[in-house]
């Protein structure tokens, strides 16, 4: 019985071994099943998410400049205030009394100053009248001297211009004479030539070699040259006459120039002498001012008193205005430090206000992120208290200096808060876009493999075989990687295989996720459409991980 059982077990093992051998042979001859994905053109965007805190854009403490009893204070924590709204009034009674007293004292000092000025005016009127008269004489004589100098310069320039003009006419006449003389010489040469031509033609005519018409033509040409010579001689005589006239004008202009110089020099010297006399008289009149300094010192003292009292009145008036405290911004009251009836002092604030129409979402980022951000860039903010909403803000400030200890850069994102959704101190998660590549050919990240030569993908050809394709990769996100060279949009690439593949191997391709090797990966989520209130759902930001500060491997992908 035992032997039969042993024999049966041996037969069973042999059958299993034979079945395994048959399956191994079948697998060796059957193409392996591989998953593939189609290379597509899409946008790849990298994002960076970090956490921060909501802060106000303005935080103001209302502190008085004067000491006094608070007689008006009606706002409380949470009340909304507007710019210019009266918030606090301090009892002005004591300051009002000081203003009235200082006004009376100032009026008395101004009266004494007016009396002193009237007394001095009677003493100084004669001296000042003489000084002003002599100053007027000096001014008139200075004007007369300047006028004489200007006249001399103008007349001299005019005389020189006349001389230059006359000289130019003489030079032009000389040129005309030379031209006319050349014309006479040319006409004489032409006449001599015409005479010789006529004589030669007439001699040939007598011998019967030329016609009478040719003799007439030669005679006519001779007469023309005679007339041309006469004309040229007349022009020469006219040019000589013009030169004589120009020479006469030049002599007259030179004489007039001498006269102008003599008269102008005389007039200037006379004006200088008169000015010197007027200046001497003015110096004598100014010397009479020696009696004025005592009056001036008295007036200076009275004016100083008036100025001091005016400054004191202005200071007290300003203090009286400081008893009314107004809101410098549109915001809310966050703290009320005192109540009506309390004594306000410059060292103790009364209210604290914060601007809430716009708030900051303040975060810290490393330098590699800070260098990729810019003012005005859109950022997306989520809050735990609003789990179904995400808000769009703008980068408003980028601190150019890093924190000494953390080496982080502070970024402030501006959020509109007109609906009063955000409060100072709230926890916020902020997502920034740090890099993007538009309309690039992309494949799933698992399709790209590495070997000693670099990156490559396995492309499935139309014959269902595998082709080894080196590639140049670009920007990537959590799901896809950009292919800059090596793969075209629409080609199939292997994403998953149970066996090692080699170039040229026959395969049985199936769509990605349908072979059962692994769970299919979802399609990339497109960038959300922000509504009129600037919000959208948090699920619209792929790659943004909740919790600690993270930077996704690729961020999100837009189709």
**Which H or E run includes 343?**
strand 343-344
Last residue of a domain, one of 291, 310, 339: 291
* 420 and 502 both lie in a single domain: yes
* 386 and 482 both lie in a single domain: yes
Q: With respect to residue 79, please indicate whether it lies within any of the assigned structural domains.
A: yes
Q: With respect to residue 447, please indicate whether it lies within any of the assigned structural domains.
A: yes
* 237 and 368 both lie in a single domain: no
* 239 and 338 both lie in a single domain: no
Q: With respect to residue 249, please indicate whether it lies within any of the assigned structural domains.
A: yes
CB contact at 8 A, 510 and 460: no
**Separation between Cα atoms, residue 208 and residue 262, nearest integer Å:** 82
Q: How far apart are the first and last CA of the chain?
A: 73
* 152 and 256 both lie in a single domain: yes
Q: With respect to residue 488, please indicate whether it lies within any of the assigned structural domains.
A: yes
SS3 470: strand
Written as tens digits, the pLDDT of the chain (559 aa) is 677 778 878 888 887 887 777 666 655 567 888 999 999 999 998 889 999 999 998 889 999 988 999 999 999 998 889 999 999 999 998 888 888 898 888 888 888 888 877 776 766 667 677 777 778 887 888 888 888 888 878 878 887 888 888 888 788 888 888 888 888 888 888 888 888 888 888 888 888 888 888 888 888 888 888 888 888 888 888 888 888 887 888 788 788 778 877 887 888 888 888 878 878 887 777 776 666 676 777 778 888 988 998 898 899 888 888 889 999 988 899 899 999 999 999 989 999 998 888 999 999 999 999 999 999 999 999 999 999 999 999 999 999 999 899 899 999 999 999 888 999 999 999 999 888 889 999 999 999 999 998 999 999 999 999 999 999 999 888 899 999 999 999 999 999 988 888 889 999 999 987 765 544 443 333 333 333 333 333 333 333 333 333 344 334 434 3
- Written as six digits, the tokens of 74 are 């009606």
* 417 and 541 both lie in a single domain: yes
| Long-range CB pairs of 486-490, under 8 A, 24+ apart, other chains included | 486/456, 486/457, 487/39, 487/441, 487/443, 487/457, 487/459, 488/39, 488/441, 489/39, 489/40, 489/41, 489/441, 490/38, 490/39, 490/40
What CATH code is carried by the domain that includes residue 400? Answer: 2.40.30.170
* 99 and 233 both lie in a single domain: yes
Q: With respect to residue 407, please indicate whether it lies within any of the assigned structural domains.
A: yes
* 135 and 260 both lie in a single domain: yes
Range of the domain at 79: 64-91+324-349
DSSP at 502: -
Last residue of a domain, one of 273, 291, 309: 291
**Separation between Cα atoms, residue 33 and residue 499, nearest integer Å:** 9
Tell me the sheet residues that pair with 331: 81, 355
Q: With respect to residue 220, please indicate whether it lies within any of the assigned structural domains.
A: yes
Number of domains in the chain: 3
Residue-by-residue DSSP string for 527-552: PPPP-TTSEE-GGGSTT--SSS-EE-
What CATH code is carried by the domain that includes residue 343? Answer: 2.40.50.100
What CATH code is carried by the domain that includes residue 112? Answer: 1.10.287
Q: With respect to residue 302, please indicate whether it lies within any of the assigned structural domains.
A: no
Q: With respect to residue 24, please indicate whether it lies within any of the assigned structural domains.
A: no
* 345 and 361 both lie in a single domain: no
* 271 and 405 both lie in a single domain: no
* 87 and 102 both lie in a single domain: no
- Written as six digits, the tokens of 555 are 């961020």
Helical pair 93-206 and 212-287, crossing angle rounded to 10 deg: 160
How would you classify the pairing of strands 454-460 and 535-536? unpaired
* 149 and 193 both lie in a single domain: yes
């Amino acid at each position: 019985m035992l032997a039969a059982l042993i024999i049966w077990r041996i037969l069973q093992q042999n059958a299993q071994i034979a079945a395994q051998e048959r399956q191994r042979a079948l697998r060796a001859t059957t193409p392996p099943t591989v998953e593939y994905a189609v290379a597509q053109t899409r946008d790849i965007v990298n994002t960076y998410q970090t956490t921060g805190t909501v802060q106000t854009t303005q935080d103001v403490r209302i502190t008085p400049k004067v000491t006094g009893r608070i007689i008006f204070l009606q706002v409380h924590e949470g009340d909304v205030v507007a710019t210019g709204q009266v918030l606090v009034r301090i009892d002005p009674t004591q300051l009002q009394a000081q203003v009235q007293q200082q006004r009376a004292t100032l009026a008395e000092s101004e009266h004494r100053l007016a009396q002193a000025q009237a007394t001095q005016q009677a003493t100084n009127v004669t001296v000042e009248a003489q000084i002003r008269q002599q100053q007027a004489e000096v001014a008139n004589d200075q004007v007369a001297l300047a006028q004489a100098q200007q006249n001399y310069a103008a007349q001299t320039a005019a005389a020189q211009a006349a001389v230059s003009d006359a000289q130019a006419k003489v030079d032009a006449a000389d040129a005309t004479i030379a031209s006319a003389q050349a014309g006479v010489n040319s006409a004489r040469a032409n006449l001599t030539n015409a005479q010789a031509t006529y004589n030669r033609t007439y001699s040939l005519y007598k011998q019967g070699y030329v016609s009478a018409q040719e003799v007439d033509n030669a005679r006519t040409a001779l007469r023309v040259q005679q007339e041309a010579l006469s004309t040229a001689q007349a022009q020469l005589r006219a040019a000589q006459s013009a030169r004589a006239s120009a020479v006469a004008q030049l002599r007259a202009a030179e004489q007039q120039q001498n006269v102008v110089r003599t008269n102008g020099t005389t007039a200037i010297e006379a004006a200088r002498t008169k000015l010197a006399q007027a200046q001497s008289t003015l110096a004598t009149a100014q010397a009479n001012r020696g009696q004025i300094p005592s009056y001036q010192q008295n007036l200076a003292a009275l004016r100083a008193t008036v100025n001091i009292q005016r400054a004191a009145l202005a200071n007290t008036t300003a203090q009286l205005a400081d008893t009314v405290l107004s809101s410098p911004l549109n915001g809310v009251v966050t703290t009320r430090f005192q109540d009506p009836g309390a004594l306000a002092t410059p060292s103790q604030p009364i209210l604290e206000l914060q601007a809430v129409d716009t708030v900051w979402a303040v975060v810290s980022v490393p330098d590699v992120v800070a260098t990729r951000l810019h003012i005005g860039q859109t950022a997306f903010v989520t809050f735990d208290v609003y789990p179904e909403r995400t808000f769009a803000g703008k980068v408003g400030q980028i601190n150019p200096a890093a924190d000494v200890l953390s080496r982080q850069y502070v970024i402030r994102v501006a959020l509109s808060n007109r609906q009063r959704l955000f409060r100072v101190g709230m926890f916020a998660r902020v997502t920034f876009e740090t890099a993007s590549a538009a309309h690039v050919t992309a494949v799933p990240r698992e399709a790209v493999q590495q070997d000693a030569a670099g990156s490559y993908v396995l492309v499935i050809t139309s014959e269902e075989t595998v082709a080894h394709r080196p590639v140049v990769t670009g920007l990537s996100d959590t799901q896809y990687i950009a292919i800059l060279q090596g793969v075209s949009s629409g080609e199939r690439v292997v994403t998953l295989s149970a066996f090692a593949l080699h170039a040229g191997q026959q395969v049985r391709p199936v769509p990605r996720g349908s072979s059962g090797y692994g769970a299919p990966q979802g399609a990339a989520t497109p960038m959300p459409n922000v509504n009129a209130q600037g919000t959208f759902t948090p699920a619209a930001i792929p790659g943004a991980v909740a919790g600690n500060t993270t930077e996704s491997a690729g961020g999100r992908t837009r189709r």
